[in-house]
Amino acid sequence: MPPDAEIDAFAEAGRLLFARPFVFVKGCVRIADLPEMDKVEIAFAGRSNVGKSSLINALTGTSNLARTSNTPGRTQELNIFESAGEPLRIVDMPGYGFAQAPKPKVEAWTRLIHQYLTGRATLRRVYVLVDGRHGPRGNDLSVMNELDKAAVSYQVVLTKADKPSPTDLRKAIAATTAAVAKRPAAHPTIIVTSSERGDGIAELRAEIARLLAH
């Protein structure tokens, strides 16, 4: 297929993939709670408040799907979303960077994440959400370190791209591109999104459709 036709084909496949509704399946606090490894999984990770729920809602074309995962009690779980008949499972990971959380909770969360990232054969890619106003910070870099160590493929998605000025957004993109450049498990391309304006959503859907095809 010529390159342009291939891009169009994945854009259409991405649109179709998310044309049918995704629903909340369950929240998992233990690895044993996870569904069978019968679908390709993509996971979304990011600091609390980075815009993860909004992005999952925009991706799936719903207004409140991922709100479930932002309700108290669900924030420390791996929240699972699926669409009937689709070979894709979305895993919403707990937001990190909540300094106020009690230590045992943070430890349990860290253990769950570590087990999930290192032991899940069906996990195809982690989308690491980073605030588009400034690019990656301490916690974001720690997560990337862990993903590199676990050799789990990941790609950075900048969020809230409508907020910074064009100059600041360009700086954030440059800083992010530099931050992933030498990382072994990172996808070199950054996806720039705004859930508010819809920027980058079609591109993200196409990228996920491409993952499923390979």
Which residues of the shown chain bind ligand GDP in the complex (CB under 6 A)? 46, 48-54, 70, 95, 159-160, 162-163, 194-196
CB of 66 to ligand GDP, least distance (A): 7
Closer Cβ to ligand GDP, 180 or 201, answer by number: 201
CB of 141 to ligand GDP, least distance (A): 18
DSSP secondary-structure letter at 53?
H
Closer Cβ to ligand GDP, 39 or 52, answer by number: 52
CB of 50 to ligand GDP, least distance (A): 4
SS (H, E, C) 75-129: CCCEEEEECCCCCEEEEECCCECCCCCCHHHHHHHHHHHHHHHHHCCCEEEEEEE
- Number of other CB atoms surrounding residue 166 within 10 Å: 8
Closer Cβ to ligand GDP, 46 or 136, answer by number: 46
CB of 132 to ligand GDP, least distance (A): 8
- Token code pair at residue 11: 């854009």
CB of 137 to ligand GDP, least distance (A): 14
- Give the three-state DSSP class for 183: coil
Closer Cβ to ligand GDP, 95 or 136, answer by number: 95
Q: Are strands 123-131 and 40-46 parallel, antiparallel or unpaired?
A: parallel
Closer Cβ to ligand GDP, 49 or 122, answer by number: 49
- Number of other CB atoms surrounding residue 110 within 10 Å: 13
